[in-house]
Structure 1
Protein backbone atom coordinates (compact mmCIF):
# COMPACT_ATOMS: atom_id res chain seq x y z
CA UNK A 1 0.00 0.00 0.00
CA UNK A 2 2.88 2.35 0.90
CA UNK A 3 4.54 1.79 -2.48
CA UNK A 4 1.24 2.40 -4.25
CA UNK A 5 0.77 5.69 -2.39
CA UNK A 6 4.29 6.82 -3.27
CA UNK A 7 3.64 6.02 -6.92
CA UNK A 8 0.42 8.01 -6.89
CA UNK A 9 2.10 10.98 -5.23
CA UNK A 10 4.88 10.93 -7.79
CA UNK A 11 2.25 11.00 -10.53
CA UNK A 12 0.51 13.92 -8.82
CA UNK A 13 3.76 15.81 -8.60
CA UNK A 14 4.19 15.58 -12.37
CA UNK A 15 0.63 16.75 -13.02
CA UNK A 16 0.60 19.67 -10.57
CA UNK A 17 3.89 21.24 -11.64
CA UNK A 18 2.86 24.58 -13.10
CA UNK A 19 5.19 25.90 -15.75
CA UNK A 20 6.15 29.59 -15.39
CA UNK A 21 3.76 31.91 -17.18
CA UNK A 22 5.58 34.87 -18.65
CA UNK A 23 5.00 37.42 -21.37
CA UNK A 24 6.59 35.38 -24.12
CA UNK A 25 4.43 34.19 -26.97
CA UNK A 26 3.44 30.54 -26.91
CA UNK A 27 5.12 28.22 -29.38
CA UNK A 28 2.94 28.03 -32.46
CA UNK A 29 1.96 24.59 -33.68
CA UNK A 30 1.45 23.96 -37.37
CA UNK A 31 -2.15 24.10 -38.41
CA UNK A 32 -3.12 20.69 -39.83
CA UNK A 33 -3.75 20.44 -43.54
CA UNK A 34 -6.97 19.10 -44.99
CA UNK A 35 -5.27 15.77 -45.55
CA UNK A 36 -5.08 15.10 -41.80
CA UNK A 37 -7.57 12.91 -39.98
CA UNK A 38 -9.11 15.72 -37.92
CA UNK A 39 -11.83 17.25 -40.03
CA UNK A 40 -12.64 20.90 -40.71
CA UNK A 41 -16.33 21.85 -40.89
CA UNK A 42 -18.05 24.54 -42.95
CA UNK A 43 -20.74 26.71 -41.39
CA UNK A 44 -23.92 24.67 -40.97
CA UNK A 45 -27.41 25.55 -39.77
CA UNK A 46 -28.79 24.34 -36.46
CA UNK A 47 -31.14 21.40 -36.92
CA UNK A 48 -34.59 21.65 -35.40
CA UNK A 49 -34.84 18.20 -33.81
CA UNK A 50 -33.90 17.70 -30.17
CA UNK A 51 -32.46 15.00 -27.92
CA UNK A 52 -35.90 14.23 -26.53
CA UNK A 53 -35.81 11.82 -23.58
CA UNK A 54 -32.04 11.32 -24.01
CA UNK A 55 -30.43 10.44 -20.67
CA UNK A 56 -26.88 11.69 -20.21
CA UNK A 57 -24.61 13.44 -17.73
CA UNK A 58 -22.81 16.11 -19.78
CA UNK A 59 -20.00 18.32 -18.47
CA UNK A 60 -18.61 21.20 -20.54
CA UNK A 61 -14.95 22.07 -19.88
CA UNK A 62 -14.12 25.52 -21.23
CA UNK A 63 -10.67 27.04 -21.77
CA UNK A 64 -10.86 30.43 -20.06
CA UNK A 65 -7.15 31.25 -20.30
CA UNK A 66 -5.65 34.64 -21.12
CA UNK A 67 -5.04 33.58 -24.74
CA UNK A 68 -8.82 33.62 -25.30
CA UNK A 69 -9.79 37.26 -25.86
CA UNK A 70 -13.11 38.83 -24.88
CA UNK A 71 -14.66 38.42 -28.34
CA UNK A 72 -13.63 34.76 -28.58
CA UNK A 73 -14.88 34.06 -25.07
CA UNK A 74 -18.29 35.41 -26.06
CA UNK A 75 -18.27 33.08 -29.09
CA UNK A 76 -17.67 30.07 -26.85
CA UNK A 77 -20.63 31.06 -24.68
CA UNK A 78 -22.80 31.38 -27.81
CA UNK A 79 -21.68 27.91 -28.90
CA UNK A 80 -22.67 26.41 -25.55
CA UNK A 81 -26.06 28.15 -25.69
CA UNK A 82 -26.60 26.70 -29.18
CA UNK A 83 -25.82 23.20 -27.90
CA UNK A 84 -28.24 23.66 -25.01
CA UNK A 85 -31.07 24.46 -27.42
CA UNK A 86 -31.44 20.87 -28.60
CA UNK A 87 -30.77 19.12 -25.28
CA UNK A 88 -33.65 17.74 -23.22
CA UNK A 89 -32.47 19.11 -19.87
CA UNK A 90 -33.92 17.85 -16.62
CA UNK A 91 -33.17 15.62 -13.60
CA UNK A 92 -34.48 12.49 -15.37
CA UNK A 93 -33.05 13.20 -18.83
CA UNK A 94 -29.89 15.23 -19.59
CA UNK A 95 -28.06 16.83 -16.69
CA UNK A 96 -25.52 19.54 -17.50
CA UNK A 97 -22.50 20.83 -15.60
CA UNK A 98 -19.84 23.34 -16.64
CA UNK A 99 -16.22 23.94 -15.61
CA UNK A 100 -13.98 26.80 -16.62
CA UNK A 101 -10.25 26.52 -16.32
CA UNK A 102 -7.22 28.74 -16.48
CA UNK A 103 -4.50 28.35 -13.86
CA UNK A 104 -7.24 26.96 -11.61
CA UNK A 105 -10.55 25.19 -12.14
CA UNK A 106 -13.81 26.99 -11.48
CA UNK A 107 -16.99 24.95 -11.13
CA UNK A 108 -19.62 27.25 -12.65
CA UNK A 109 -22.41 24.78 -11.94
CA UNK A 110 -22.62 21.05 -11.30
CA UNK A 111 -24.86 18.32 -12.68
CA UNK A 112 -27.25 18.75 -9.74
CA UNK A 113 -27.42 22.57 -9.73
CA UNK A 114 -30.18 23.24 -12.27
CA UNK A 115 -33.35 21.38 -13.22
CA UNK A 116 -34.51 23.58 -16.10
CA UNK A 117 -32.87 24.65 -19.35
CA UNK A 118 -33.62 28.32 -18.74
CA UNK A 119 -31.60 28.21 -15.50
CA UNK A 120 -28.61 26.67 -17.28
CA UNK A 121 -28.79 29.32 -20.01
CA UNK A 122 -28.81 32.17 -17.48
CA UNK A 123 -25.78 30.69 -15.72
CA UNK A 124 -23.83 30.45 -19.00
CA UNK A 125 -24.63 34.07 -19.83
CA UNK A 126 -23.37 35.17 -16.40
CA UNK A 127 -19.98 33.43 -16.76
CA UNK A 128 -16.90 35.64 -16.38
CA UNK A 129 -13.57 35.17 -18.13
CA UNK A 130 -10.78 33.84 -15.84
CA UNK A 131 -7.97 35.08 -18.11
CA UNK A 132 -5.14 33.10 -16.48
CA UNK A 133 -3.03 30.04 -17.44
CA UNK A 134 -3.94 26.78 -19.23
CA UNK A 135 -4.23 23.84 -16.81
CA UNK A 136 -6.18 21.49 -19.06
CA UNK A 137 -5.14 18.30 -17.26
CA UNK A 138 -6.25 19.76 -13.94
CA UNK A 139 -9.71 20.47 -15.38
CA UNK A 140 -10.10 16.91 -16.69
CA UNK A 141 -9.00 15.54 -13.31
CA UNK A 142 -11.58 17.74 -11.57
CA UNK A 143 -14.28 16.40 -13.87
CA UNK A 144 -13.23 12.80 -13.25
CA UNK A 145 -13.11 12.99 -9.45
CA UNK A 146 -15.58 15.73 -8.56
CA UNK A 147 -17.90 16.80 -11.39
CA UNK A 148 -18.89 13.19 -12.14
CA UNK A 149 -19.33 12.20 -8.50
CA UNK A 150 -22.76 11.33 -7.15
CA UNK A 151 -22.34 14.14 -4.61
CA UNK A 152 -22.24 16.63 -7.51
CA UNK A 153 -25.23 15.13 -9.29
CA UNK A 154 -23.88 12.32 -11.47
CA UNK A 155 -26.16 9.32 -11.55
CA UNK A 156 -24.90 6.09 -9.94
CA UNK A 157 -22.70 3.85 -12.07
CA UNK A 158 -25.26 1.04 -11.81
CA UNK A 159 -27.70 3.12 -13.88
CA UNK A 160 -25.12 3.23 -16.70
CA UNK A 161 -26.19 6.72 -17.81
CA UNK A 162 -23.69 7.97 -20.44
CA UNK A 163 -21.09 10.38 -19.05
CA UNK A 164 -19.82 12.88 -21.60
CA UNK A 165 -17.17 15.60 -21.54
CA UNK A 166 -17.11 18.31 -24.19
CA UNK A 167 -13.85 20.25 -23.88
CA UNK A 168 -12.99 23.42 -25.82
CA UNK A 169 -9.38 24.63 -25.90
CA UNK A 170 -7.30 27.04 -27.96
CA UNK A 171 -3.72 26.23 -26.93
CA UNK A 172 -1.04 24.06 -25.39
CA UNK A 173 -1.72 22.95 -21.81
CA UNK A 174 0.77 23.86 -19.11
CA UNK A 175 0.32 20.48 -17.45
CA UNK A 176 0.07 16.82 -18.45
CA UNK A 177 -3.15 15.75 -20.18
CA UNK A 178 -2.52 12.34 -21.75
CA UNK A 179 -2.54 10.26 -18.57
CA UNK A 180 -5.47 11.93 -16.86
CA UNK A 181 -7.56 11.91 -20.07
CA UNK A 182 -6.82 8.19 -20.46
CA UNK A 183 -7.97 7.60 -16.86
CA UNK A 184 -11.22 9.44 -17.58
CA UNK A 185 -11.83 7.46 -20.77
CA UNK A 186 -11.03 4.20 -18.95
CA UNK A 187 -13.86 4.87 -16.50
CA UNK A 188 -16.25 5.00 -19.47
CA UNK A 189 -16.43 8.78 -19.95
CA UNK A 190 -16.82 9.79 -23.61
CA UNK A 191 -14.65 12.82 -24.42
CA UNK A 192 -15.19 15.20 -27.34
CA UNK A 193 -12.14 17.44 -27.82
CA UNK A 194 -12.60 20.70 -29.76
CA UNK A 195 -9.51 22.64 -30.76
CA UNK A 196 -9.61 26.22 -32.01
CA UNK A 197 -6.82 27.79 -34.07
CA UNK A 198 -3.16 26.86 -33.61
CA UNK A 199 -3.77 23.86 -31.36
CA UNK A 200 -1.32 20.97 -31.09
CA UNK A 201 -3.02 18.08 -32.87
CA UNK A 202 -1.33 15.40 -30.77
CA UNK A 203 -2.64 17.05 -27.61
CA UNK A 204 -6.20 16.97 -28.96
CA UNK A 205 -5.84 13.30 -29.84
CA UNK A 206 -4.46 12.55 -26.38
CA UNK A 207 -7.63 14.06 -24.89
CA UNK A 208 -10.42 12.85 -27.18
CA UNK A 209 -12.00 9.41 -27.33
CA UNK A 210 -11.38 7.05 -30.21
CA UNK A 211 -11.99 6.87 -33.07
CA UNK A 212 -10.53 10.36 -33.29
CA UNK A 213 -12.41 11.15 -36.50
CA UNK A 214 -15.64 11.04 -34.47
CA UNK A 215 -14.47 12.73 -31.28
CA UNK A 216 -11.70 15.21 -32.15
CA UNK A 217 -12.59 18.40 -34.01
CA UNK A 218 -10.68 21.44 -35.19
CA UNK A 219 -11.86 24.84 -36.41
CA UNK A 220 -9.74 27.72 -37.66
CA UNK A 221 -11.02 30.34 -35.18
CA UNK A 222 -13.73 31.00 -32.61
CA UNK A 223 -16.00 32.58 -35.19
CA UNK A 224 -16.25 29.16 -36.85
CA UNK A 225 -16.97 27.14 -33.72
CA UNK A 226 -20.72 27.46 -34.30
CA UNK A 227 -20.23 25.34 -37.42
CA UNK A 228 -19.98 22.35 -35.07
CA UNK A 229 -23.41 22.84 -33.50
CA UNK A 230 -25.35 20.60 -35.87
CA UNK A 231 -22.49 18.09 -35.88
CA UNK A 232 -22.85 17.67 -32.12
CA UNK A 233 -26.61 17.58 -32.35
CA UNK A 234 -26.32 14.55 -34.60
CA UNK A 235 -23.77 12.94 -32.29
CA UNK A 236 -25.49 13.63 -28.97
CA UNK A 237 -29.03 12.92 -30.17
CA UNK A 238 -28.28 9.93 -32.36
CA UNK A 239 -29.37 6.49 -31.19
CA UNK A 240 -25.90 5.28 -32.15
CA UNK A 241 -24.12 7.31 -29.44
CA UNK A 242 -21.54 4.90 -27.94
CA UNK A 243 -22.79 3.45 -24.66
CA UNK A 244 -19.68 2.72 -22.63
CA UNK A 245 -19.50 0.60 -19.49
CA UNK A 246 -18.88 2.93 -16.57
CA UNK A 247 -16.27 2.11 -13.92
CA UNK A 248 -15.12 3.93 -10.77
CA UNK A 249 -11.83 5.89 -10.95
CA UNK A 250 -8.63 4.05 -10.05
CA UNK A 251 -7.04 4.33 -6.59
CA UNK A 252 -4.53 6.93 -7.80
CA UNK A 253 -7.28 9.03 -9.36
CA UNK A 254 -9.22 8.92 -6.08
CA UNK A 255 -6.18 10.07 -4.10
CA UNK A 256 -5.69 12.82 -6.67
CA UNK A 257 -9.20 14.11 -6.09
CA UNK A 258 -8.89 14.51 -2.33
CA UNK A 259 -7.47 18.05 -2.39
CA UNK A 260 -9.12 21.13 -3.84
CA UNK A 261 -8.30 21.68 -7.51
CA UNK A 262 -6.37 24.94 -7.15
CA UNK A 263 -2.73 23.92 -7.53
CA UNK A 264 0.54 25.73 -8.01
CA UNK A 265 4.26 25.31 -7.45
CA UNK A 266 3.53 25.47 -3.70
CA UNK A 267 1.41 22.32 -4.02
CA UNK A 268 4.20 20.58 -5.89
CA UNK A 269 6.63 21.38 -3.05
CA UNK A 270 4.10 20.05 -0.53
CA UNK A 271 3.79 16.76 -2.43
CA UNK A 272 7.58 16.37 -2.59
CA UNK A 273 7.69 16.84 1.19
CA UNK A 274 5.12 14.05 1.72
CA UNK A 275 7.06 11.68 -0.54
CA UNK A 276 10.28 12.40 1.37
CA UNK A 277 8.58 11.65 4.70
CA UNK A 278 7.14 8.35 3.43
CA UNK A 279 10.45 7.19 2.01
CA UNK A 280 12.35 7.79 5.30
Structure 2
Protein backbone atom coordinates (compact mmCIF):
# COMPACT_ATOMS: atom_id res chain seq x y z
CA UNK A 1 0.00 0.00 0.00
CA UNK A 2 2.79 2.40 0.94
CA UNK A 3 4.51 1.57 -2.34
CA UNK A 4 1.35 2.45 -4.28
CA UNK A 5 1.00 5.79 -2.45
CA UNK A 6 4.63 6.67 -3.19
CA UNK A 7 4.17 5.79 -6.85
CA UNK A 8 0.99 7.88 -7.01
CA UNK A 9 2.85 10.85 -5.47
CA UNK A 10 5.57 10.56 -8.10
CA UNK A 11 3.05 10.35 -10.95
CA UNK A 12 0.66 13.10 -9.83
CA UNK A 13 2.34 15.46 -7.38
CA UNK A 14 5.96 15.65 -8.51
CA UNK A 15 5.21 17.01 -12.01
CA UNK A 16 2.92 19.64 -10.49
CA UNK A 17 5.57 20.64 -7.95
CA UNK A 18 8.22 20.91 -10.67
CA UNK A 19 5.85 22.99 -12.78
CA UNK A 20 5.25 25.42 -9.90
CA UNK A 21 8.98 25.73 -9.22
CA UNK A 22 9.69 26.31 -12.91
CA UNK A 23 6.99 28.98 -13.10
CA UNK A 24 8.38 30.70 -10.02
CA UNK A 25 11.81 30.68 -11.62
CA UNK A 26 10.40 32.23 -14.78
CA UNK A 27 8.73 34.99 -12.75
CA UNK A 28 11.97 35.76 -10.92
CA UNK A 29 13.91 35.83 -14.18
CA UNK A 30 11.36 37.96 -16.02
CA UNK A 31 10.85 40.50 -13.25
CA UNK A 32 14.43 41.74 -13.62
CA UNK A 33 13.56 43.16 -17.01
CA UNK A 34 9.76 43.59 -17.09
CA UNK A 35 8.94 47.18 -18.15
CA UNK A 36 7.75 48.87 -14.96
CA UNK A 37 7.60 52.34 -13.45
CA UNK A 38 8.36 51.86 -9.75
CA UNK A 39 8.23 54.78 -7.29
CA UNK A 40 9.22 54.68 -3.62
CA UNK A 41 7.53 57.31 -1.41
CA UNK A 42 9.62 57.62 1.76
CA UNK A 43 8.69 59.27 5.05
CA UNK A 44 11.45 61.71 5.98
CA UNK A 45 9.71 63.32 8.98
CA UNK A 46 11.21 64.10 12.41
CA UNK A 47 10.00 60.81 13.89
CA UNK A 48 12.17 58.83 11.47
CA UNK A 49 15.49 60.44 12.39
CA UNK A 50 18.73 60.47 10.36
CA UNK A 51 20.00 57.07 11.55
CA UNK A 52 16.79 55.27 10.63
CA UNK A 53 16.67 57.08 7.31
CA UNK A 54 20.09 55.63 6.47
CA UNK A 55 18.63 52.17 7.16
CA UNK A 56 15.78 52.94 4.76
CA UNK A 57 18.26 53.95 2.06
CA UNK A 58 20.18 50.67 2.42
CA UNK A 59 16.88 48.76 2.25
CA UNK A 60 15.99 50.67 -0.91
CA UNK A 61 19.31 49.76 -2.53
CA UNK A 62 18.90 46.09 -1.61
CA UNK A 63 15.38 45.99 -3.05
CA UNK A 64 16.38 47.43 -6.43
CA UNK A 65 19.98 46.33 -7.00
CA UNK A 66 19.03 43.15 -8.90
CA UNK A 67 16.66 44.88 -11.32
CA UNK A 68 17.74 45.72 -14.86
CA UNK A 69 17.45 49.51 -15.07
CA UNK A 70 16.89 51.29 -18.36
CA UNK A 71 14.40 52.84 -20.79
CA UNK A 72 13.16 49.43 -21.96
CA UNK A 73 13.19 47.81 -18.55
CA UNK A 74 12.53 49.03 -15.00
CA UNK A 75 12.60 52.72 -14.12
CA UNK A 76 12.78 53.72 -10.47
CA UNK A 77 11.78 57.03 -8.92
CA UNK A 78 12.06 58.21 -5.31
CA UNK A 79 10.05 60.83 -3.42
CA UNK A 80 10.97 61.84 0.13
CA UNK A 81 8.40 63.77 2.09
CA UNK A 82 7.77 65.56 5.37
CA UNK A 83 5.87 68.88 5.31
CA UNK A 84 6.26 68.80 1.54
CA UNK A 85 7.39 66.21 -1.01
CA UNK A 86 10.83 66.32 -2.63
CA UNK A 87 11.58 64.65 -5.95
CA UNK A 88 14.81 62.86 -5.11
CA UNK A 89 15.03 60.63 -8.20
CA UNK A 90 12.83 61.25 -11.27
CA UNK A 91 11.59 58.27 -13.28
CA UNK A 92 13.91 57.59 -16.21
CA UNK A 93 16.80 59.63 -14.84
CA UNK A 94 19.16 56.62 -14.63
CA UNK A 95 20.10 54.10 -17.30
CA UNK A 96 22.08 51.75 -15.06
CA UNK A 97 21.76 50.17 -11.65
CA UNK A 98 25.09 51.63 -10.59
CA UNK A 99 24.07 55.25 -11.15
CA UNK A 100 20.67 54.63 -9.55
CA UNK A 101 22.27 53.19 -6.41
CA UNK A 102 24.68 56.12 -6.21
CA UNK A 103 21.73 58.52 -6.40
CA UNK A 104 19.89 56.63 -3.65
CA UNK A 105 22.91 56.71 -1.38
CA UNK A 106 23.23 60.49 -1.81
CA UNK A 107 19.67 61.31 -0.63
CA UNK A 108 19.70 63.61 2.41
CA UNK A 109 17.21 63.27 5.26
CA UNK A 110 14.61 66.07 5.44
CA UNK A 111 12.98 66.20 8.88
CA UNK A 112 9.60 67.83 9.41
CA UNK A 113 5.96 66.82 9.73
CA UNK A 114 4.18 63.91 8.02
CA UNK A 115 2.02 64.72 5.00
CA UNK A 116 1.63 61.39 3.25
CA UNK A 117 -1.40 62.35 1.16
CA UNK A 118 0.44 65.27 -0.41
CA UNK A 119 3.37 62.96 -1.25
CA UNK A 120 1.15 60.38 -2.98
CA UNK A 121 -0.54 63.13 -5.02
CA UNK A 122 2.89 64.55 -5.91
CA UNK A 123 4.08 61.15 -7.17
CA UNK A 124 0.95 60.86 -9.31
CA UNK A 125 1.25 64.37 -10.77
CA UNK A 126 5.01 64.72 -11.21
CA UNK A 127 6.32 61.19 -11.77
CA UNK A 128 3.69 58.83 -13.13
CA UNK A 129 1.85 61.50 -15.15
CA UNK A 130 5.14 62.54 -16.78
CA UNK A 131 5.93 59.01 -17.91
CA UNK A 132 5.01 58.22 -21.51
CA UNK A 133 5.41 54.47 -21.05
CA UNK A 134 2.28 52.30 -21.09
CA UNK A 135 3.20 49.65 -18.58
CA UNK A 136 2.88 48.47 -15.00
CA UNK A 137 2.96 51.32 -12.47
CA UNK A 138 3.74 50.62 -8.81
CA UNK A 139 4.18 52.90 -5.78
CA UNK A 140 5.54 51.79 -2.40
CA UNK A 141 4.72 54.09 0.53
CA UNK A 142 6.87 53.68 3.66
CA UNK A 143 5.87 55.62 6.78
CA UNK A 144 6.26 55.44 10.56
CA UNK A 145 3.36 57.61 11.69
CA UNK A 146 -0.14 58.88 11.10
CA UNK A 147 -0.36 61.40 8.32
CA UNK A 148 -1.20 65.00 9.15
CA UNK A 149 -3.24 65.26 5.98
CA UNK A 150 -5.84 63.11 4.23
CA UNK A 151 -4.51 60.10 2.30
CA UNK A 152 -7.68 58.48 0.95
CA UNK A 153 -8.41 60.83 -1.96
CA UNK A 154 -4.82 60.82 -3.22
CA UNK A 155 -4.60 57.03 -3.00
CA UNK A 156 -7.89 56.59 -4.85
CA UNK A 157 -6.73 59.01 -7.55
CA UNK A 158 -3.56 56.95 -7.96
CA UNK A 159 -5.54 53.73 -8.30
CA UNK A 160 -7.85 55.42 -10.82
CA UNK A 161 -4.69 55.96 -12.87
CA UNK A 162 -3.85 52.23 -12.72
CA UNK A 163 -1.13 52.62 -10.09
CA UNK A 164 -0.73 49.70 -7.70
CA UNK A 165 -0.04 50.91 -4.15
CA UNK A 166 1.82 49.07 -1.39
CA UNK A 167 1.92 50.50 2.16
CA UNK A 168 4.59 49.71 4.75
CA UNK A 169 3.99 50.83 8.34
CA UNK A 170 6.95 51.01 10.71
CA UNK A 171 6.48 51.04 14.48
CA UNK A 172 3.53 51.53 16.80
CA UNK A 173 2.55 55.05 15.71
CA UNK A 174 1.18 53.97 12.34
CA UNK A 175 -2.58 53.69 11.92
CA UNK A 176 -3.97 50.47 10.48
CA UNK A 177 -6.98 52.11 8.83
CA UNK A 178 -4.77 54.67 7.13
CA UNK A 179 -2.38 52.06 5.72
CA UNK A 180 -5.36 50.10 4.40
CA UNK A 181 -6.74 53.27 2.80
CA UNK A 182 -3.43 53.83 1.03
CA UNK A 183 -2.86 50.31 -0.28
CA UNK A 184 -4.60 48.18 -2.86
CA UNK A 185 -6.86 45.33 -1.81
CA UNK A 186 -6.55 42.78 -0.32
CA UNK A 187 -4.66 44.35 2.57
CA UNK A 188 -3.00 41.02 3.37
CA UNK A 189 -1.15 41.33 0.06
CA UNK A 190 -0.46 45.06 -0.13
CA UNK A 191 0.01 46.19 3.51
CA UNK A 192 3.07 45.37 5.62
CA UNK A 193 3.84 46.04 9.27
CA UNK A 194 7.25 45.94 10.98
CA UNK A 195 8.10 46.80 14.58
CA UNK A 196 11.00 49.17 13.82
CA UNK A 197 13.34 50.24 11.04
CA UNK A 198 15.86 47.50 11.74
CA UNK A 199 13.08 44.99 11.08
CA UNK A 200 12.38 46.22 7.53
CA UNK A 201 15.15 43.90 6.36
CA UNK A 202 12.79 41.03 7.25
CA UNK A 203 10.37 42.00 4.48
CA UNK A 204 12.97 42.73 1.81
CA UNK A 205 12.66 39.38 0.02
CA UNK A 206 8.87 39.40 0.33
CA UNK A 207 8.70 42.86 -1.23
CA UNK A 208 11.01 41.83 -4.06
CA UNK A 209 8.81 38.80 -4.73
CA UNK A 210 5.60 40.82 -4.74
CA UNK A 211 7.08 43.54 -6.95
CA UNK A 212 8.06 40.77 -9.36
CA UNK A 213 4.56 39.34 -9.34
CA UNK A 214 3.02 42.75 -10.01
CA UNK A 215 5.42 43.65 -12.82
CA UNK A 216 5.38 40.31 -14.65
CA UNK A 217 1.80 39.13 -14.12
CA UNK A 218 -0.22 41.71 -12.17
CA UNK A 219 -3.50 39.86 -12.68
CA UNK A 220 -2.19 36.67 -11.09
CA UNK A 221 -1.12 37.04 -7.49
CA UNK A 222 -0.60 33.56 -5.98
CA UNK A 223 -3.40 32.32 -3.75
CA UNK A 224 -0.90 32.06 -0.89
CA UNK A 225 -0.40 35.81 -1.05
CA UNK A 226 -4.10 36.56 -0.66
CA UNK A 227 -4.49 35.48 2.94
CA UNK A 228 -2.86 36.54 6.19
CA UNK A 229 -0.34 33.69 5.96
CA UNK A 230 0.95 34.91 2.60
CA UNK A 231 3.90 36.76 4.08
CA UNK A 232 5.14 33.68 5.92
CA UNK A 233 4.82 31.55 2.80
CA UNK A 234 6.58 34.05 0.57
CA UNK A 235 9.42 34.44 3.06
CA UNK A 236 10.31 30.88 2.26
CA UNK A 237 10.78 31.81 -1.40
CA UNK A 238 13.57 34.31 -0.68
- In the superposition, the TM-score normalised over structure 2's length comes to 0.76
SS at match of 2:184: coil
Alpha-carbon distance in structure 2 between the residues aligned to 1:53 and 1:184: 24
Secondary structure in 1 aligned to 2:185?
A: coil
Q: Is the 8 A contact 1:56 1:163 kept in 2?
A: yes
Equivalent residue, structure 1, for 2:165: 191
Return the offset for 1:86: 2.3
Q: Does the alignment pair 1:163 with 2:143? A: no
> Which residue of the partner structure matches residue 227 of structure 1?
202
Kindly tell me the number of residue pairs found equivalent between the two proteins: 189
Matching residue within 194, 212, 234 for 2:187? 212
Assess if the C-alpha contact under 8 Å between 1:57 and 1:155 holds in 2. Answer: no
RMSD value over aligned CA atoms?
A: 1.4
Question: How many angstroms does 1:60 deviate by?
Answer: 0.6
The correspondence of residues 36-75 of structure 1 with structure 2, limited to 5 A, is: 51-75=31-55
Query: Gaps (5+ residues) in structure 2?
Result: 1-27, 221-238
Relative contact order, CA 8 A, sep 6+: which one is greater? 1
Secondary structure in 2 aligned to 1:72?
helix
The structure that is helix-richer by fraction is: 2
The reply on whether 1:96 has 2:76 as its aligned counterpart is yes
Gaps of 5+ in 1: 1-48, 244-280
Runs (4 or more) in structure 1 with deviation over 3 Å come to none
Tell me by how many angstroms 1:135 deviates.
0.8
Structure 1 residues 164-183: aligned runs within 5 Å: 164-183=138-157
Name 1:141's counterpart in structure 2: 121
CA distance in 1, matches of 2:129, 2:119: 14
**1:112, CA displacement in angstroms?**
2.0
